[in-house]
Structure 1
Amino acid sequence: MSPALFTESDFLGCFANDNPVAAFKNAINAENAQLKMRFNPDQATVGLLTEKARFIDNLLTACWLHFLDNIADRHSLIATGGYGRSELFPYSDIDILVLLNAANPVDYQHQLSSFCNFLWDIGLKPGLSTRSIPDCLIAAQDDQTVFTSLLEMRLITGNAELFSDLKHQVNSESLWPSEQFFPAKMAEQQKRYSKFHDTAYNLEPNIKEGPGGLRDLQVISWVFKRHYNASSLRELIKYGFLPKSEYDNLITARDILWRLRFALHNLTSRCEDRLVFDYQRELASQFGYIDKNEQPDVEQFMQFYFKAVVDIERLNEMLLQLLNERLISNKESLAPIPITANFSSIDGYLEVSNKDVFQKQPLALLEIFLILQQSPSLKGIRASTIRLIRKNLHLINAEFRTNKQANRLFMDILRQPRGITSQLKRMNRYGVLAAYLPDFANIVARMQYDLFHIYTVDEHTLFVIRNLRRFSLAKHNKELPFCNNIFLLISKPDILYIAAMFHDIAKGRGGDHSTQGETIANNFCQQHDLSNHDTKLITWLVRHHLLMSMTAQRKDISDPDVIHTFALEVGSIERLNYLYLLTVADIRATNPSLWNAWKDVLLKDLYISTHQALHRGLQNPMVRSERIQENKKEARDELLKLGISKTNITQSWQHLSDDYFLRYSADEIAWHTIAIAACQESELPLVLLRPQTQRGSAEIFVYTRNEAQIFSISTATLDQLGLTILDARIITTADQYVLNSFQVLEQSGEAINDLYREVHICTSLRHSLIAKKVKASKNIHKQSRQARHFPIETSITFLEDPSHKHTIIELVTTDRAGLLSTIGRAFTELDIQLHDAKITTIGSRAEDMFYISDQQSLPITDEDKKAQIRTTMLRYLSLKG
């Protein structure tokens, strides 16, 4: 029998089956299969949602009659929540209320239990509550979420009078009146937003709970229904909240999210509301997207989703503001207070003085945001004026963009002492930013499909500006005090904001986004009459916005030559200040989990060293010998203070190369020397751990006789212990001892702060080195679920070492457990020496640099040998397990 014909009687007949549980399960599975077959991503799902609700109605009615039998008419079976709205997705929760006609159900407890247990047995997983009317009212009064679910209740079967009595009492003005219910729902929405960092524009959005999701529409519906007892959102038109065109936009956006949620349920066979990577490509294909113009299908699909969310976010903002005016505000606050000739304040929101303001004076489309900045008591723009802004966006045309007064207004917005971030976000939400900067329109809702960038490009850009603004505010000084101090040295903060606005504006075009962004930024500066100096600074920052992070993470910043080269590229302390702040703000706005104490100190060290080099003068660079002697002197002075004799110091240092004294700080040299001087040959290998170094990470130091596979065994052990290796320094002494040090953090990004953990790490690593193998055990270094969706094509490139001491190998590949150990084994087979490793992991992408030589410590220049190295590394990287 077709599930479409499954009536109440059909389900009752299933109880005559030898196995009624199986019969019901078969009916449910058949219904879901048919819904899946009939679902079309290009067509509305409302009919399918209603059909699913009717199907469950018939099923529950049959179960109700069967298990409650002679008392079925005394009580009520009620649908609540989404089921009450008849919006039932294939695997949605079934929220039901058993409304009792008496407070004490002892006499029929067994029947109710049988009814409930059967629903679980057939796989429905109902959200079921059993209450009398007084119980319902008490629960609703105590918890507005209970009250909210009762607002949407619908009788399935049973005692209709009992249901009507509850409905009447729930609708009573005394129970959660609008002036209480509305603020409660607003607070609930804000709390929900905060869970998603107040943005919907991330890599794996929640289409139900996230900002701009289905829950936003339900909030509008609940508040509206409570006050007006409205039966549908269409009545928003009747009561003057929306014109039909905006109502149609709202329903279109809702329909898109409904179709996406229906497809997600079908794809996962469960109640799944997250657009996680695992499903995005399949959904993109279902919805008809294909790769085109260098834009992957999945990026186009996610842009389609985000544009629907933008509409819902904006309409949610407007409708809740209008509802607040009607439900909460008093008449006095709704009286217009003139602000300028074009605008008044109504209940704290800016309103146009008349409806043709923008048509007569298009520049008011920018002026309104400047007024908001200059009047901090204003809460925002009134809904009717938001509507007019949207209606008049076409006025921001080529003539508008080249109008010098418009240009001055835009620059004034960027130069205000407050409200820059909030107004730019508002301008983006209303479409003004994309209209004024057509190149910005290209990045609106554009997703970058990798694990490094977790926000859309426009949202990331605005987060960068927000971070820069925070550097200027004393209340955020404790967050990054060094950045706050540097910001005080900035003469023109608007230069930073402009550079941030354009640093990623060419994303998605193909080619180098930095050079293309430089051109776009230059055009902007020319149009907005910025000085030649400011234009050069902005375009340089856009072109080189990745320079500082790449230098810090991929080069040895303890080397004066590296610092001098970087200082030459930067050229001035002014540029250094701007670049440092932009770099920190950019990294922190890309993915909050990528920022840690290690990167903080690494960038700070690079800034300080470069500042010193620039202050000294580029014509007077510090030479390596000066740095070596400086480090030696500082370390020796410290050791002598601690009672270490000159003889012991000399003996400990006699076989160490200049490289060692260059690449380690005086503090590290002193720590190593004390340990080595106190260590007997029989006690090797020596393994030490400092839980907190000056760079915010832990340092693990290994001192032992040089043997093959020390690097491979060490890295495999540390990886197996769940540690993230940030940096590795490998020194081999003239008498063949190795001093290896690894900068590490816990996989969570936190420092090691447990004494037992420290001991376990040192003990495990020492045992591995003695045994010359890694003990077999479960690797706790877990690759993220998302990482498998971002396979990185492996590339191996040989780079020239400016010092001509080593051969540099740049490896780009997918990050994985045991990667460094695998490379170490390849180097052992190749019989080459590893002198240094710079580890950079960006999301699922590993970008590692290895400084190698032959066994005579000479660079490898032979092309055949390089080809052999590449082949061997690729072979090891392709091995499983």
Structure 2
Amino acid sequence: MTFSPALPQEQLFEALQESAQPGQYARQYLEQGQERLNQAFASTDITELVRDRADLVDQVMIAAWSLFGLAERDGVALVAVGGYGRAELHPCSDVDVLVLMADSPDQTLRDCLERFVAFLWDMGLEIGHAVRTLDECVELAREDITVATNIMEARTLGGSDTLRLQLEERTGPEHMWDSAAFFAAKWQEQVARHKRFNDTEYNLEPDLKNAPGGLRDVQMIAWVAKRHFNADSLEALVDVGFLTAEEYGVLRKCLDYLWEVRWQLHVHTERNENRLLFDHQRQLATRLGHEDSSANLAVEHFMKGFYRVALALSVLNEMLLQLFDEVILHNEKPDQVRPLNRRFQVRNDYLEVTSPQVFEKHPSALLEAFVLMAQNPQLKGIRASTVRALIYNRRQINEAFRNDPENTGLFMQLLRSPHALFSQLRRMKRYGILGKYLPEFGGIIGMMQYDLFHIYTVDAHTLLVIKNMRRLRYEDLREEFPLASEVFYRLPKPELLYAAGLYHDIAKGRGGDHSELGAEDAIAFCQRHGLTAWDGKLVAWLVRSHLTMSVTAQRKDISDPDVVYEFARKVGDLVHLDYLYVLTVADINATNPTLWNSWRASLLRQLYTETKRALRRGLNNPVEKQDWIDETRDAAMKMLTERDHDPKAIESLWANIGDEYFLRETPRDISWHTEALLDRDDPEDPLVLIRESSQSVLAGGSQIFIYTPDTRNLFSATVNALDTLGLTIMDARIITSADGFSLDTYIVLDENGTPIGEDWPRIEQIRKMLTETLKHPERFSSTVSRRMPRRHKHFDVPTQVLISNDIVNDRTAVDIQTLDRPGLLAHIGRIFMRFELLVQNARIATLGERVEDVFFITDLDGDPVSDPALCQELQETLIKELDDKNNGNS
């Protein structure tokens, strides 16, 4: 018969009966029905759509039940459970059904049921099914809270409703899982679920169903409400006084938003996908109507909205579960109450107001609550009823409130608190107080940056910076951050550091230089909060300069005394250096856990130490390079002669190396290299030395030293071998001696971001492969062929190349920013080789999906690249070839 897209139930059954291929007909019916729903998305309320999707599935499910003669059978029923039982289905949601029987089935019924289930799969539905007797269901529900929960949401589709009602009665709270046991079990279930997502709403690729602030958190509230109050809807919680009408409105709005996102995610992926992977985020942003702005991408607007909804739901979930806890688990226990002051008291270890009108009569109590929490770290939290009052009364925070000296004094008291500053700022953010008191902070809540470098939203990152600062007070952190801990204790006013941390990224997303804009906000904050002019200038300088130290350490040659002097000049004095160093360490550790490794730590430590020396020497008395070189040579010579090496042999070896080697290397490393060169058996073979870096007592990485005849493709061949070995290059120093030998030092980390250590089999493997490569570097012809990581493929990082001449060091700097990929350094090296250019030095920085590498190059004669046409051609070639993401990564 001719297909009709929408039929009454009886006609659909007849159509299936008459069809030669009923499974194909049902599949087509569902597909075309779903297409109609998708087309209605823009003009239809999402609540109606998810109900209509369930109705559509109901139609074919009921018709199929009749098609296989099951509607006429006694003692068997088709029951929808789970989300389908709630009549809430998204395009590709699992359709969970229970075939409920009074007794074990006979063979005829078994056969019918097998054909029925097979037919459901033929229709293209993602079926989750169970076939059980009433007694089996009761026993399973007693053992498994998930089964008991599913039964609570059941509804009958086919057969008598009597069986389902009997099941509902026998699994009710009077027989099993009373409301206290049910609530306790579901709460533990939620705790375990949240833990799988690191207890944060702010994952880079969030799960909109299971993560904190997701759909499961809403269902959790509904399940407990149904079990305890027999409430059939969230709205019913308003009637029993557990939700205000305003809270229900927020809950409903947030739920609808998540449903809209999930609907479009299913349509886009054509599967039951609940993870907002990078693969889908940009497309979903477009589907949901977001557009790029001058300051933010459409995907960033979309994800900011998502994170804000997740946070709002998470706070509601937290508040309501605490209320349930009081009513369900502790309703018969006597309260223990002790006063704190006229406005606050402690009830059962939770802070609460002494009367419902406290915030209305004393608006400053909105901040005082968090000061008291910091002063009483033994408290478990703020009581749910007080949280509700905080959220309701935050509307009182206006310009007059923000400028009131009592309130600014309370906020500064919090910043100076010896306990729980991070916890209280985080609590203030969750309850919407911090964003109201500091509107500039409110603007960054939920803001994300679409890259792999910044793995937290701006607000979460900001508070993590402050958490990292606070952690430096603890003894157990001294081993991990010895210098930062020591410097932190010298800071005269730690609250200035916290203020800088609070404001360092506060202007992100506005367009323009966020450091400059943030410094202006910081000045205003300091003036409003009564800080002295000097203190305000320091905080603003820290905000303005918060990237300076990391950029200098990672992108410049800090073994060059001129670089250190220039940085010292920017810092000006030891107080500014101390504050900036601690801020930088805290900032890097709060950006991305993979960023902080022993090598970055050693770079910052080296820059801090050398800058401190320069400041003590005086900015009017900079160190001379020749003095630096002479001191290094003398120190290395002393080490070698103490080990009975001939000074004449040493001088002969050093005669052709050149001054730059003694400028770049430490005396300890020079003596190590020299001793190995003097003692080697075969002077024709390449020399490969491997050990931990000697930048400081705490090794920053593994150091690989290579001494071999120089060739044009030596850099490309070497970095390709290191890449093949799974090593990450952090730093490269390439020095060519006057007699045609290359003295190259690479600082590397293993795949897990740590030095190689004393893994002798691994060291021998590296040495052997490098030696074989260096014997015949001319045979190197292709880069590694490992695939690009999945996440990287979804980022568009246009290659940027800046070429400039380093006049002081007589070489050319090539600054390259591009997408990270396997074999990238070898590819860049091959381009330099084609242009007959030599790499003299390189600083390698990998920032998420992006690399920011600086290469210092010369021509074959050792001179800078002075031909503008050649520079332009090199720039164009690098951009063209590196913008091909598939080059060497297919």
Name the TM tier (shorter chain): over 0.9
Question: For 1:418-451, what per-residue CA distance to the aligned partner results, in whole angstroms no more than 9, with x for missing partners?
Answer: 1211111121122221222222222222222332
Aligned letter for 1:561? Answer: D
Residue matched to 1:37: 39
Q: What is the correspondence of 1:592-607 to structure 2 with a 5 Å cutoff?
A: 592-607=593-608
Separation in 2 of the partners of 1:629 and 1:159? 97
Residue matched to 2:865: 860
Q: What is the correspondence of 1:91-240 to structure 2 with a 5 Å cutoff?
A: 91-102=92-103, 112-158=113-159, 160-240=161-241
Residue matched to 2:701: 697
1:749 aligns with 2:753: yes
Residue matched to 2:278: 277
What SS class does the counterpart of residue 592 from structure 1 fall into? coil
For residue 739 of structure 1, report the CA deviation from its aligned partner: 2.0
Note the residue ranges of structure 1 that are not aligned, 5 or more in a row.
none
Report the CA distance shift for 1:43/1:304 in structure 2 as closer, same or farther (over 3 A).
farther
For residue 153 of structure 1, report the CA deviation from its aligned partner: 2.4
Report the CA distance shift for 1:473/1:179 in structure 2 as closer, same or farther (over 3 A).
farther
Residue matched to 1:529: 530
Residue matched to 1:779: 785
Separation in 1 of the partners of 2:754 and 2:399? 51
Native 8 Å contact 1:333 1:347 kept in 2: no
Residue matched to 1:52: 53
TM-score, with length taken from structure 2: 0.92
What SS class does the counterpart of residue 791 from structure 1 fall into? coil
Aligned letter for 2:722? Answer: L
Separation in 1 of the partners of 2:116 and 2:629? 82
For residue 856 of structure 1, report the CA deviation from its aligned partner: 2.8
Native 8 Å contact 1:804 1:859 kept in 2: no
Question: For 1:501-548, what per-residue CA distance to the aligned partner results, in whole angstroms no more than 9, with x for missing partners?
Answer: 110111112211111111111111122121233222211111110011
Report the CA distance shift for 1:18/1:43 in structure 2 as closer, same or farther (over 3 A).
closer
Separation in 1 of the partners of 2:847 and 2:165? 59
For residue 710 of structure 1, report the CA deviation from its aligned partner: 1.1
Separation in 2 of the partners of 1:392 and 1:275? 34
Residue matched to 1:714: 718
For residue 586 of structure 1, report the CA deviation from its aligned partner: 1.0
Report the CA distance shift for 1:863/1:263 in structure 2 as closer, same or farther (over 3 A).
same
Identity of aligned residues (%): 42
Separation in 2 of the partners of 1:12 and 1:719? 66
Question: For 1:165-193, what per-residue CA distance to the aligned partner results, in whole angstroms no more than 9, with x for missing partners?
Answer: 22112213352222232233223323322
Residue matched to 1:791: 796
1:832 aligns with 2:816: no
Question: For 1:645-692, what per-residue CA distance to the aligned partner results, in whole angstroms no more than 9, with x for missing partners?
Answer: 556544543322222222223443344334434546675344454477
Residue matched to 2:312: 311
Native 8 Å contact 1:631 1:665 kept in 2: yes
1:326 aligns with 2:332: no
Native 8 Å contact 1:691 1:758 kept in 2: no
Q: 2:739 aligns with which of 735, 738, 744?
A: 735
579-588 or 273-282, which moves further after superposition? 273-282
For residue 295 of structure 1, report the CA deviation from its aligned partner: 3.1
Separation in 2 of the partners of 1:433 and 1:581? 24
- Considering only aligned residues, what root-mean-square deviation do their CA atoms show, in Å? 2.9
Separation in 1 of the partners of 2:4 and 2:207? 34
Q: What is the correspondence of 1:58-73 to structure 2 with a 5 Å cutoff?
A: 58-65=59-66, 69=70, 72-73=73-74
Separation in 1 of the partners of 2:345 and 2:33? 57
Separation in 2 of the partners of 1:665 and 1:295? 45
Report the CA distance shift for 1:745/1:100 in structure 2 as closer, same or farther (over 3 A).
farther
Residue matched to 1:812: 817
461-470 or 586-595, which moves further after superposition? 586-595
TM-score, with length taken from structure 1: 0.93
Aligned letter for 2:778? Answer: K
Report the CA distance shift for 1:405/1:862 in structure 2 as closer, same or farther (over 3 A).
same
What SS class does the counterpart of residue 856 from structure 2 fall into? strand
Native 8 Å contact 1:200 1:211 kept in 2: yes
Separation in 2 of the partners of 1:811 and 1:558? 21
Separation in 1 of the partners of 2:579 and 2:500? 9
Separation in 2 of the partners of 1:855 and 1:874? 23
Report the CA distance shift for 1:227/1:660 in structure 2 as closer, same or farther (over 3 A).
same
1:434 aligns with 2:435: yes
Aligned letter for 1:454? Answer: I
For residue 119 of structure 1, report the CA deviation from its aligned partner: 3.6
Question: For 1:283-306, what per-residue CA distance to the aligned partner results, in whole angstroms no more than 9, with x for missing partners?
Answer: 222222223353332222222222
Residue matched to 2:79: 78
Aligned letter for 2:859? Answer: D
Residue matched to 1:255: 256
471-480 or 280-289, which moves further after superposition? 471-480
Separation in 2 of the partners of 1:344 and 1:105? 66
For residue 461 of structure 1, report the CA deviation from its aligned partner: 0.9
What SS class does the counterpart of residue 392 from structure 1 fall into? helix
Aligned letter for 2:79? Answer: I
For residue 758 of structure 1, report the CA deviation from its aligned partner: 4.5
Aligned letter for 1:417? Answer: P
Separation in 2 of the partners of 1:487 and 1:89? 53
Native 8 Å contact 1:657 1:733 kept in 2: yes
Native 8 Å contact 2:92 2:126 kept in 1: no
Separation in 1 of the partners of 2:665 and 2:45? 65
Residue matched to 1:548: 549
Report the CA distance shift for 1:230/1:723 in structure 2 as closer, same or farther (over 3 A).
same
Aligned letter for 1:873? Answer: L
Aligned letter for 1:831? Answer: E
What SS class does the counterpart of residue 772 from structure 1 fall into? helix
Separation in 1 of the partners of 2:615 and 2:188? 52
67-76 or 266-275, which moves further after superposition? 67-76
Separation in 1 of the partners of 2:613 and 2:781? 47
Question: For 1:618-667, what per-residue CA distance to the aligned partner results, in whole angstroms no more than 9, with x for missing partners?
Answer: 44444434443444455445556667555654454332222222222344
Report the CA distance shift for 1:70/1:691 in structure 2 as closer, same or farther (over 3 A).
farther
Native 8 Å contact 1:567 1:614 kept in 2: yes
What SS class does the counterpart of residue 726 from structure 1 fall into? strand
Aligned letter for 2:855? Answer: F
Report the CA distance shift for 1:334/1:197 in structure 2 as closer, same or farther (over 3 A).
same
Residue matched to 1:241: 242
741-750 or 305-314, which moves further after superposition? 741-750
Aligned letter for 1:821? Answer: A
Aligned letter for 2:255? Answer: R
Separation in 2 of the partners of 1:15 and 1:675? 88
Report the CA distance shift for 1:570/1:108 in structure 2 as closer, same or farther (over 3 A).
same
Report the CA distance shift for 1:653/1:28 in structure 2 as closer, same or farther (over 3 A).
farther
Report the CA distance shift for 1:21/1:422 in structure 2 as closer, same or farther (over 3 A).
same
Separation in 1 of the partners of 2:641 and 2:7? 92
What SS class does the counterpart of residue 440 from structure 2 fall into? helix
For residue 750 of structure 1, report the CA deviation from its aligned partner: 4.4
1:14 aligns with 2:16: yes
Separation in 1 of the partners of 2:229 and 2:637? 81
Native 8 Å contact 2:688 2:705 kept in 1: yes
Report the CA distance shift for 1:624/1:54 in structure 2 as closer, same or farther (over 3 A).
same
Separation in 2 of the partners of 1:629 and 1:21? 87
197-206 or 533-542, which moves further after superposition? 197-206
Native 8 Å contact 1:291 1:297 kept in 2: yes
